[in-house]
Chains A and B, each alone.
Chain A
């Protein structure tokens, strides 16, 4: 699991939502905070804040706060939230957009060399490729 060390972002706070919208096509203000995404999220048990709170922090411009939490990295992109959201918010895409925004700062949240030798051999190749795609630029 990647460490959520806060990286210096060279993006202006007022641009963050624009970039997220560009990448994901999603407008965070559509969300009315019903929590249905959270209610169905299979990863929520391990998340330190809930999926709907990720959107909430974006809505109130608390991006730095969001980065302190593991939620975006634990999101499994299973799309349960997306398929059930009553407002049609594609939260999985927003999670992905936030990750991309960080990765595009050229910071790797996972280095292949950090994965223990024996795990590397055990893990299916798709999992390795998937992990590298999700956690490194």
Chain B
């Protein structure tokens, strides 16, 4: 029989406070197959790990059970440790007696007996374990970055500068994302365009970067280190090399539609450039609004273009690329104001959202930086800013805090006061969340020096009265209800994941939370990885965040990609589910249930083929297999039965 050692961790008082660890160790000293058992204060510490190594040598252990915290915490720590002395890491198993035992009860006796049962189960499992070798996977050292906002730009630049090829895929006609729409940025008030444009140009010009605009990822096959991705590119209908962005075409275009870049506050033509700083700096035709991409119907732009750059015959393309790693940086959108019935959006032109106000403040915006309200183009002398719109409202909208609107609202009120000196700015807030470097100082400075009136309370209703709006709010600090007349109201709408994030997540097999933000692999220790190998996340697509945090996360994601690219091979857990050909009836159940597409029926050879690299060891197929042909390595049906039997004390 295998010579097994059992090590029971106290985890300080985390485990030892509830579980009688010495009694547990004592129990296993006489357990069949166990030749050594002991308890120790912190097994994950340096001396703790040394004890394990020494005992392996002293007792000639062939199997090790660590009874401690969850395996997601330290399984790899202990496996790496024992590997140093040539011990097969798959002969080490964790019994979770913290999260599943000590933390979930206060009853010492029942905790101790449950710990014994849990460890017995793992000992029984371990008896059936085989020594396994990790699976080797080659790496394609090229990366795909989806989304060309500041997150995508930063990640792409980091990877490209390290010497690797990057494909940057952006769905709009220009990169830059929302940052390109901002006027000035908190807390330093530097001009957003001025700090962003050089990066946009740099990434587009970098020899290692291939930029696809008006493009979307439509298909992803393969696995970590070896993805095959289809990028669908819509045509510009303008020859890039020939367009000088002179704008003669737009002059003559008869179509006018609201400009997306200007948040509908201005019109654009059907042939247009989103903003003067757009990258690539070319005009393109929006086929939805162009009078038909049909030169017979309207050919005005083509006639006006001296360089003959217009090309109505361009077709959409599907481009196949191969990459080893993917960074998802598809950002955010604002929650729809039309869903805020009591704030009257849709009915009142002068109730706008934060991004619209950014465009109004922006020198390149619809009013060239003058604060003019949309309805009649006059200067609003009374502006009310409403925070937490759609955020922190679990009953009707989003339960979470959007994190950055406290800051940009303070910025908005401040910039407004800089531009309209005799204007009155009022902010309705619930709490001021200004927890970044120099953020609190920024808000306090705005309040103190610009005399912005901060009222602590939510707004119940906004309605139009003659040429102004009335905001019904409360100031809970003085215990008063207030009604404030306003010429313009700015709603700090919640940040939500960008449209299409969920579809993309499904394509990538990446998890998302109840709000649609992408899930990180571990909320603390793996914040830029997804649970799907080789797919990383950056920016506001993971959660609401500001630019500094977005850039930091993008660099983090890029460094994870580079960590991968620094290796020629990747190693993967070998606990995959094999097939015993002699038992397999070719029913195909396992192929159907596999969420990773790792299994396929080979009718000619009459076998089920398993792609060891794709298999994520979830075990769905093993459970679905009616004949027992599909068996997971180191978690076979026999091992599971042994574990159940020992738990039920029928063994």
Which chain B residues lie closer than 8 Å to A44 at the CB level?
A: 481
Contact A38–B457 (Cβ < 8 Å): yes
Number of interface residues of B (CB under 8 A): 24
Max chain A Cβ within 10 angstroms of own Cβ: one of B393, B474, B476: B474
Whether a CB of chain A sits under 8 angstroms from the CB of B430 is yes
What number of A-B contacts does a CB cutoff of 8 Å give?
72
Q: Are A87 and B474 in contact (CB under 8 A)?
A: no
**Contact digits for B470-481, partner A, Cβ 8 Å, 1 yes 0 no:** 001111100111
Give the residue name and chain of the A residue nearest to B471 (CB). A39
* Chain A CB within 8 A of B524 CB: no
User: When the two chains form their complex, are residues A36 and B479 in contact, meaning their CB atoms are under 8 A apart?
Assistant: no
- Contact, CB under 8 Å: B481 / A41: yes
Any A CB within 8 A of the CB of B460: yes
Known contacts A52-B474, A84-B342; A36 and B458 CB within 8 A of each other: yes
Does B456 sit within 8 A of A, measured CB to CB? yes
When each residue 456-473 of chain B gets 1 if its CB lies under 8 Å from chain A and 0 otherwise, what string results? 111111000000000011
**Does the CB pair A39–B461 fall under 8 Å?**
yes
Within 8 A of B (CB), among A82-101: 84-88
User: Is A39 touching B456 in the complex (CB atoms < 8 A)?
Assistant: no
Is B392's beta carbon under 8 Å from chain A? yes
Q: Which residue of B lies closest to A36 (CB)?
A: B458
CA distance A35 to B457 in the complex (A): 5
Given A41-B481, A50-B474, are A36 and B392 neighbors across the interface (CB < 8 Å)? no
Asked if A36 and B459 make an inter-chain contact with CB atoms under 8 angstroms apart, the answer reads yes
Given contacts A40-B472, A49-B479, A52-B474, is CB(A34)–CB(B396) below 8 Å? no
* Cβ A80 vs Cβ B460 within 8 A: yes
Given A45-B481, A50-B481, answer yes or no on A35-B461 (Cβ-Cβ < 8 Å): no
Contact of A86 among B396, B476, B480 (CB under 8 A): B396
Overall SS of chain B's interface = loop
A111 at the interface (CB under 8 A from B): no
Query: 1/0 contact trace for A25-53 toward B, CB 8 Å?
Result: 00000001111111111001100011011
Report Cα–Cα, A37/B474, bound state, in Å.
Answer: 9
- CB pair A86 B393 closer than 8 Å: yes
The answer to whether A50 touches B460, judged by C-beta atoms less than 8 angstroms apart, is: no
A40 pairs with B392, CB closer than 8 A: no
Compute how far the CA of A33 lies from the CA of B392 in the bound complex, rounded to whole angstroms: 12
Q: How distant is the Cα of A88 from the Cα of B392 in the complex, in angstroms?
A: 12
A–B pairs, 25, beta carbons within 8 Å: A34-B388, A34-B392, A34-B457, A35-B457, A35-B475, A35-B476, A36-B460, A38-B457, A38-B474, A39-B458, A39-B472, A39-B473, A40-B460, A40-B461, A50-B474, A50-B476, A53-B479, A80-B460, A84-B342, A86-B393, A86-B394, A86-B395, A86-B397, A87-B395, A88-B395
Question: Which are the 10 A-B pairs with shortest beta-carbon distances?
Answer: A40-B460, A35-B457, A35-B474, A39-B460, A86-B393, A36-B458, A88-B395, A35-B476, A38-B474, A39-B474
